Structure 1
Amino acid sequence: MEEQGNSKKRTRKRKTRKPKIPSASLLSLNDTNTIFPLLLAATAQLSNSQNNTPNNNSEILIKKCITKLHHSLLSNNQTFPISVLSLFPVLMNSKCAGIACRSAEIVGLASLVSLEMNELVALDEGMVKGVILMLGSGKRKLSVAACNALLDLSTTLIGRQKLLEFLALERLMFGFLQVPASSILVSLYNEDKRSVALARIAFKEDGAAVSLLHAAITLINTCNIEQLERIPLKLAEKFLVSLKKLWGKVHNQMLLGNAWTSRRERDLNLRDVTVNNLAESIFRLSINASENVIPLPSVIIDRKIFGWGELSFENFMLHHWESSPSIVRRLSGSLIEEDDIFSSFAQSLNCKEASPTFLSCVLKNFISCVPIASDELNIISFLEEMRSELGCPIIYHQDIRVLRTEQPLKKEVHFFQKKFDPCCFKKLAFNTTDIMKCEEAFKEGYTIALRGVEFRFASIAAVADALASLFGQPSVGANIYLTPPNSQGLARHWDDHCVFVCQLVGTKQWTIYSRPNLQLPRLYDPLDREHRFGEENSLAVRRKFLLREGDILYIPRGFPHEACTDDGGSSDLARFSLHVTFGIEVEPPFEWEGFAHVALHCWYQTQKQLHHASIEPLSGTMDLMSVILLHVMIELIGASDSTLRKASLVGADFLPLEANVWLNLDQKTTFNHIMDQINKASKFLEVFRNVEVAIEKNEDPFHRMRWLRHLYQETQTVQEHDWNVPFGEFQNFFPAYAQHKDMAKAAFMQVKSKFCDEVLFEDVIDRYKLLLENYKKARKQYMNGMLSLHCNGFLSP
C-alpha cells in the first residue's frame, strides 16, 4: 500500500495545468500592480501556444493589460510595475500585430520615464533584441513601432551603445534602403531662425521611411571609429549614396532659404533630424573612404611642379626652397593637357569660355568647411565639438572672400562689406541671392577667392595630398582665385607659408619683393597683414613674373607679393584669370624645432626605461622639471635661430632616388648643428626667468607646445607632466622647485649636456614619422568627410 501511495503521488506531480485565464470582461485593472500576475499567466499561455499565436481569451486579456500599462506610462504613473517589463520580449514577438506594436510602444515609453529606467531597459538583452527583431518583420506597422521604441531607447548613451552592440544599425540601414529614394521629398523647419545647419528636416513621406532614417542617423552619429569600421562595407556604401541624394535636396532647400516657421503644412512629417545631423552621418560614413582621392603618380607631380630636368627637384631644394622665388614654364603652349594634373579640375569647371559662367554653379555646390584645430588628432572629438556648424552653406571670410585692391591707395575693399564687418561676430552664411551677387561683383572688378578647395574637389585634393607627402607635412591647403580683366584682388602682402601658384586660365602679372626680414615667419605667429610697406619697400629689389596657362610660380614664406590682370594694355591680359595656390603650411611639430622636441622626448623615455641599469640615472622631480624647462629652452632658441624655423623634411617622401641620398645627409648635418646650438645656447637662468615671468603674468609658457601632449600621452600626474593641462599643474608645482635653484640649475645643466651628447638622429626618426602619420590620418579623415559632402553629382540643383 505504501508503494502504491507513493506511485499516486508521483503521478499527480506529472500532471500540468494550464493557467486559468479569467474572462476579460470580469477584470477591473484599476491597480497596475495586479497586472503582472494576470499578464504573466496570459503570456505563459501565449508561449505554450503553437507559433506563439494567442487564443481569443488570452489575446483580449493581454491587450487590456498592456493598454492599462500604456495609459499608466502616458500619465506618468509612479507605480508602474517594473517587473512586468520582463514579459515584453515574448509580447513583442507575438503574431498579433496589435500586441507586438503596443508592447514596443510601452518599451519605448518606459525608456523615457527616467535615466534609471532607460538603463534598465538597455541592459535587458531580451528587450533590446526584441525591438531589433521587429525591425526585420517586413510589416510596415511593426517596423514603425520598433523604430519609435528604438528612438526612445536611444535618448541615452547607454541605450545607443546597446543598440549598436546588437547590430540595430545594420537592420535600420537595410530597411531604409528598401524605400525608393526618389519618393522622399524634404522641406526645412527652423523654429527660432537659428543657424540653418540646426534647422529640422520635414519629410513629405510616411512614417516608416522617416523613422528608419531618423534612427539610423542617430546611431551613426554615436559610433566611434571602430564601430563605423564594423559596418559591412557594401551596406555602408549603398546607404551613403542614399544619404547623399537626400543631402542634395536638403542643400538646395538651404540655399533657397525655404525654412518655414509655422506648422501650417499638415502633410509634412517633422522629426528631430536636423541638417547638421544628416551632414554628420555622411561625414562619418566617409571618414575611411579610399575612393574619394585617387593618388597621383609621383613622376607626374615631379615633372609638373619642378620641370623636366633630371636634377630639377634637387636644384629646387638646394637653391629655392624657403629661400628664393622660382618659376617653372610649361613647355607646350596648349591649355590644360589631358595628362596634366589639373585637367580633370579644369574640365569639371568647363572654364574654356570667354567668361566664367561656371561661378554660380560652383558656389552652389559648396558648403562651409568647418575649421579643425591643427593639432586635433581625434576626428570624432572634432565632430562632437563642431557638429552644430556642420553642413552650413559657405560663410564669408571663412570660405569665400570677394575683394579688390583700389588704386592708388592699394587698399583692399570687400564687396560684402557688412558680412566682413569685424565687429559682427555672427557667422553669415551665403544663400542663392548672395551667390548671384558674386557674378555682379566679378563684373565690377572684384576677385572671388575661395578657400579650402582641397576639401571640395577630389582632383585638387590629389595634388595637395601628393605635395604634402613630398614635403613631409600632414596636409597642404589649396585656394582658387578668379580675377576679372584689368583688376587686382589681394593687396601686396606676405604669407606665413610657402606657396605654389598654378596658372590655369588666362594670364597674370606677379611682382615679388625682397624679403624684409631674414627670419622666416612661422605659422600662427602674429603677422602685420595690413600691407603697410614703407618707402624702403617700394625701392626694394623686385622681380616680375608673367604667368601664362600651365606656368607654376613658387613664392617662399615671408616674401611680399601682389598680382594683377593689368599689364599696360597687353592684349594677352584681356581675359579673366583663374589660378590655384597650394600652401605648404609647416605646423610647429614639423619644423626643425619640433624635431628637436621629439628628440628630447625619445631620449627622456629611453632614460626612464634604463632607470635601474644606469650608473647615473635620471630620476626625481628635479630631472623631470629639467626636461620640461629644456623644452621651453628649445622654443626660446627657435624664436631667434632661423634653422629651427625651417621645415623638417625627415618625413618627406622624396621622388628621385638620388635626392634621398644628399637630403638625408643634409638632414643629419642639420640635426647635429641644432644639437650644438641647444648645447651652447641653453642657459638655466634665462629659461627659469622666462617661466617665472610667464607665471607672474598668468600666461601659459607652453601654449605653442600643446602638441607635445601627443608625445606624452601616458603622463597623467604632476610627477609625469600632463601636457594636456601644462600650465595649471606647472604653476602650482613651480614655487617648490624654485626654492632649490642651485640644485635645479645643476640638474638642468646635466640633463642638457647628457641629452645633446647622447641623442642620435636615427633614434628619433621612427617616433617623428609616427607623429606625422597620426597628423596625416586625422587630416585625411577630415578631407574624406568634406569631399563626400561636396560631391557635385549630388548637390547640383
Structure 2
Amino acid sequence: MENPDGARKKKGRRRSGGEASASFDRDVFPILLAAVTPTTGPNQRASSSAAAAARLLRRLLSRSPPAPALSPLPGSLVALLPLLLSSSSHSVAALSCEVMGAAALQSMEAAEALASDGGVAGGLARALGGGSQRVAEAACNAVMDLSASPVGRERLSGSPVLPRLLYLFSQVESISRAVGSGSTGCQARVSEPSKCLYLIVDTVVLMVNSCKVGKLHNLQQELVRKVTLLLYEVWSKVRLLQSSTDCTNWKDQLQSRPYEISEAIFRLTMDLDCPAHLEPDEVRKSFFGQTESDVEKFALMYWENSPYLYRKRQSDLEGDDVFTALHNAFDLRTPDAIVESFIRGLVSCPAIASDELNIDSFLDEVHDSLGAPVKYRQDVRVVRTRDQTSTGSGVEEHFFDDGMVFPDGTAFVEQCKDAIKNGFSIALRGMEFRSEKVAAIASALADLFGQPSVGANIYFSPPGSQGLARHYDDHCVLVWQLLGRKKWKIWPNTKSILPRLYEPFHSLDGLVDDSGGRVEVLHEGDIMYVPRGHVHEAHTDVDEGESEVDVSTNYSLHLTLAIEVEPPFEWEGFVHIALHCWLEEQELVRSPGSVQSKLEEQAPLFALLLHVAIRLLSNSDPSLRKACMVAAKLPSSSNSLRSSHRSTFAEILHNINRNCGFEDALRSVELVVKERNDEPFQWMSWLRHLPQQHGRSRIDFCDVLGPLEELLDMFISDRERASADFADFKSRFCSRAVYDDACREFEALLVLYRTARTRYAKGMLALHGKHGG
C-alpha cells in the first residue's frame, strides 16, 4: 500500500528545468501557438484560442501547476513572445508583457537576454503602438522591468521601443489635467488615465537617458519637438508641485526625479535643427558695416590690439534685422518689465570643461544638476561699485551672498527689481543658453571669427550707477548697447603678452593712470570692441546740465559678446597641430618593416619635448597667444587677411627654430618627473583630440608622466648629443611643416569643438523653454 506522506512529498517536489520546459512544450506551447496563428475560420474559434491562451498566461504568472518556472523562460515561449506581444487580443498581449516582466524581476540574466532579443524588442514596440491603454501600460511596465540592468537599458533604448514609446507619449492631449496645476493643492486620488501617463513619462525618461547620444540623433525631429514640449510641461508642473508644501501626491505617482526629466529634455534637443540660425555674413554687416572690407580692416587694425567703436545712425538701426530681433527679445517698456523679460524662468547652466567634446561624459558628471535653480556668481551677479579707492577703482558690493540658489523664481525676480531700485546692476551670464536670438548671434559670430563658441552676458543698470568695478578680461568683448546709454573708460594694455583664458588675474596697481584713458559714450545701437587685457569700467552717469527727468530715465541695457580664444585656437595651438601633422606624416612615409634609425625611433619623444618648448616660448612671444583665424568664415575678398595668416605662421616657425631651447624644456620636464606631478603639463590634454593613426607615435596626452620619464631616461645620459639631435629635429620641422595640412586638422578640430558646444547650447535652451520649434 502506498505511503500517503510519501505521495505528498513526491507531489510537492519541484520539477527540474528540463522537465518543466518539456511539460510546457507538450501542454502549453500548442495552445499559445494556436492563439497567434492566423486563421480563416470563424471568429469564435480565434476568440476561444485567445481565451485559452490568456488562461495559460495567467497560470504562468500565478505559478500554478503545470506552469513552469519563469526563470529561465522556456526557449519555445521566448520564440513565441514576438507574436504574443503583437496579438490582436488585448488580454494576450498584456499578459505576455506581464509574464516577461515577471521573468525579468526573477532573474537579471533573463532580463538581459530578453532585452537583447530583437524579436522581443520589436514585439514590445508593437504592443506600445497597439492602441490599447491596458496593453501600453503593461508594455511600459515590461520595459521598466527589463531595464533593471545597464545592459537591458542600453539594448532597449537602442531598439524600436524608444521611437514607439515617444510616439505613444506624443498622443497625450493634456498634461495639465493629468498632472494638475499645483495652484490649489493636489487631488485626493489620481485618476487611472493620470497613472498611465505617469508610467509613460517614467518609461520615456528612463529610455531617453539610457540611450547613447548618437542614436538619439536618428529620431524624427518633429516627433522629438512634440515630445520635448510635453516633457517640458511635465517638468514645469513637477517643479511647481515640488515647491508646494501641501502637495505630495505627484511623488507617489511619478517616479522620475525633476533632474532626470530635465536630462531627458536636454538629450532629446541636442541635435534638433535650429530655426533661428543666422549666417556669419548677416552678423558681419550688423557688427562691422555693409562693406566686405570693413571686417578685414577691423581684423588687421584693431583685433587684439586696440578698442574700436562702430556708431550706428538711426537709419542704420531701422534696416538692421539682427539688432531689431535682439531688441525685440526684451520687454523694454519699464525697468520692472526689463527685469522680468530676462530673469524669469531661469535655470542654472553648469560649466562644460574647455576641452570636453564627449557630451555623454559631460552628462555623466552633471546629470543630477541639470535644470537646477540659478546659482549666484555662477549664473548671475547683482552688484554695484562705490567708494572710490586711492587707485581710482571702486569696491564691489553684492546684493546676494556667494553661492546662493534661488528655487523660488518669482521671489528672485522681485528681489532683482528691488536691487535695481537700490542702485545695483544685474549681470546675467550665459545668454546664449537662455535666448534663441542671442544664441543665433553668438553662433554666427563664432563662425565669423573661426572660434568654438562666443559667450554672451546681459547687463542692466539703473541711472547714476556703476555695476562691475574696474577690471580687465581674459577674452575680447563686443559691447552692443540695446537701450539707453553708458559711459565707458578704457585704458591701453601696458603688457605685450595677452592674458590667457583660465590664467590668474594680475592686480591693477600700476596698470592704469586714473587721469588718462579713453572715454566713449555708447548710445542705442552702438557697438564697441574691447580687446582682452584692456582695463575698463562703465557708468550710467550723465553729463552735468541735463534735466532730472533725463537722469531718472537713463537706464542702460547692453549685451556683451565674449570671444573666448581656447588654447587649441591660439597661434600656439595651431603650431602644436602643425607639429602633430608633420610627425604623423613622418610615420606614414616610413616603409613597413624597414630598419629605423635611433633618431627616428625617438621622434615622438623629441616631438613631446618640442611641444613643451613651444609652450615655454609663448610666455615671451606675443604672436603665439593671439587668436588664430585661419578657419574664420570671412568674405571671399579678404585676401590680405588670409595672406597675413601664412606670413604669421612662417614667422612663428622662424622664432621657434631660433628660440626654442633644449635645456629649458628638459629642465621643466625634470622638475615634473622629480615631483611626480604632471599638473603643469595638463594644458596639453587637448592634443588627445587629434587623430593618432600610427601606433609608434601614440602618446596619452592626459597622462604624460610616463612618456616624460621615458624622455628623461633617454636624453639625460648624453645631454650634449640629445641637444644636437633635438636641434636637428626642430630644424626639420620648422623647414618642412605644411601650412595647409595644419589648416585641415585645425578646421577638423574646430568642428569637433563647435559640435560639442552647440549641443550643449541647444540642450540648455530647451531647459529655458526654447525647443527649436
Normalised by the size of structure 2, how large is the TM-score?
0.87
Are positions 1:321 and 2:303 aligned together? yes
Are positions 1:45 and 2:24 aligned together? no
Separation in 1 of the partners of 2:156 and 2:11?
37
Are positions 1:633 and 2:575 aligned together? no
Shift of 1:93: 5.2
Deviations 1:251-301 (A, max 9, x none): 5556xx2377x85x3x86523312222222222222222234321461x43
Q: 1:437 to 1:203 in 2, by over 3 A?
A: farther
Q: 1:606 to 1:536 in 2, by over 3 A?
A: closer
Are positions 1:115 and 2:96 aligned together? no
In structure 2, stretches of 5+ residues that fail to align are: 1-9, 40-45, 183-189
| Aligned counterpart, 1:581 | 560
Identical residues among aligned pairs (%): 34
Shift of 1:460: 1.2
Are positions 1:642 and 2:630 aligned together? no
| Aligned counterpart, 1:552 | 527
Separation in 1 of the partners of 2:330 and 2:579?
49
Q: 1:722 to 1:466 in 2, by over 3 A?
A: same
Q: 1:510 to 1:251 in 2, by over 3 A?
A: farther
- AA aligned to 2:33 is S
Separation in 2 of the partners of 1:69 and 1:208?
29
- AA aligned to 1:358 is I
Q: 1:271 to 1:148 in 2, by over 3 A?
A: same
| Aligned counterpart, 1:598 | 577
User: How is 1:648-663 mapped onto 2 (pairs within 5 angstroms)?
Assistant: 648-655=628-635, 657-658=636-637, 660-663=638-641
Q: 1:304 to 1:138 in 2, by over 3 A?
A: closer
Does the 8 Å contact 2:669/2:708 carry over to 1?
no
Shift of 1:59: 5.4
Q: 1:742 to 1:376 in 2, by over 3 A?
A: same
Match of 2:399 among 415, 423, 430: 415
| Aligned counterpart, 2:660 | 682
**After the TM superposition, which of the residue ranges 101-110 and 381-390 deviates more from structure 2?**
101-110
Q: 3-state DSSP class of the match of 1:295? A: coil
Does the 8 Å contact 1:406/1:413 carry over to 2?
yes
Separation in 1 of the partners of 2:177 and 2:721?
74
Q: 1:793 to 1:464 in 2, by over 3 A?
A: closer
Separation in 2 of the partners of 1:677 and 1:153?
62
Match of 2:486 among 495, 498, 508: 508
| Aligned counterpart, 2:270 | 287
Shift of 1:523: 1.1
- AA aligned to 2:642 is N
| Aligned counterpart, 2:518 | 543
User: How is 1:35-184 mapped onto 2 (pairs within 5 angstroms)?
Assistant: 36-40=21-25, 41-48=27-34, 50=39, 51=46, 53-54=48-49, 60-68=55-63, 86=78, 89=81, 92=85, 97-184=90-177
Match of 1:258 among 244, 253, 256: 244
User: How is 1:133-282 mapped onto 2 (pairs within 5 angstroms)?
Assistant: 133-186=126-179, 206-253=194-241, 257-258=243-244, 265=249, 270-282=253-265
Shift of 1:95: 5.9
In structure 1, stretches of 5+ residues that fail to align are: 1-26, 190-201, 421-426
Deviations 1:216-249 (A, max 9, x none): 2222222224312222333223323322333443
Q: 1:156 to 1:499 in 2, by over 3 A?
A: same
Q: 1:384 to 1:79 in 2, by over 3 A?
A: closer
| Aligned counterpart, 1:400 | 380
Q: 1:187 to 1:744 in 2, by over 3 A?
A: farther
| Aligned counterpart, 2:446 | 468
Q: 3-state DSSP class of the match of 2:337? A: coil
Shift of 1:349: 1.3
User: How is 1:369-388 mapped onto 2 (pairs within 5 angstroms)?
Assistant: 369-388=349-368
Shift of 1:510: 0.6
Q: 1:59 to 1:182 in 2, by over 3 A?
A: closer
Q: 3-state DSSP class of the match of 2:501? A: coil
Separation in 1 of the partners of 2:529 and 2:65?
72
Match of 1:534 among 503, 509, 526: 509
Q: 1:452 to 1:72 in 2, by over 3 A?
A: farther
- AA aligned to 2:644 is D
Does the 8 Å contact 1:623/1:747 carry over to 2?
no
Separation in 1 of the partners of 2:55 and 2:290?
86
Match of 1:363 among 332, 336, 343: 343
Deviations 1:541-580 (A, max 9, x none): 3110011111111111101100011135445554210000
| Aligned counterpart, 2:497 | 519
| Aligned counterpart, 1:723 | 701
Separation in 1 of the partners of 2:340 and 2:298?
38
Q: 1:61 to 1:489 in 2, by over 3 A?
A: closer
Q: 3-state DSSP class of the match of 2:63? A: helix
Does the 8 Å contact 1:245/1:794 carry over to 2?
no
Does the 8 Å contact 1:32/1:79 carry over to 2?
no
Are positions 1:754 and 2:754 aligned together? no
Q: 3-state DSSP class of the match of 2:286? A: helix
Does the 8 Å contact 1:684/1:745 carry over to 2?
yes
- AA aligned to 1:565 is T
Give the number of aligned pairs. 734
Separation in 1 of the partners of 2:542 and 2:493?
24
Q: 3-state DSSP class of the match of 1:321? A: coil
- AA aligned to 2:210 is T
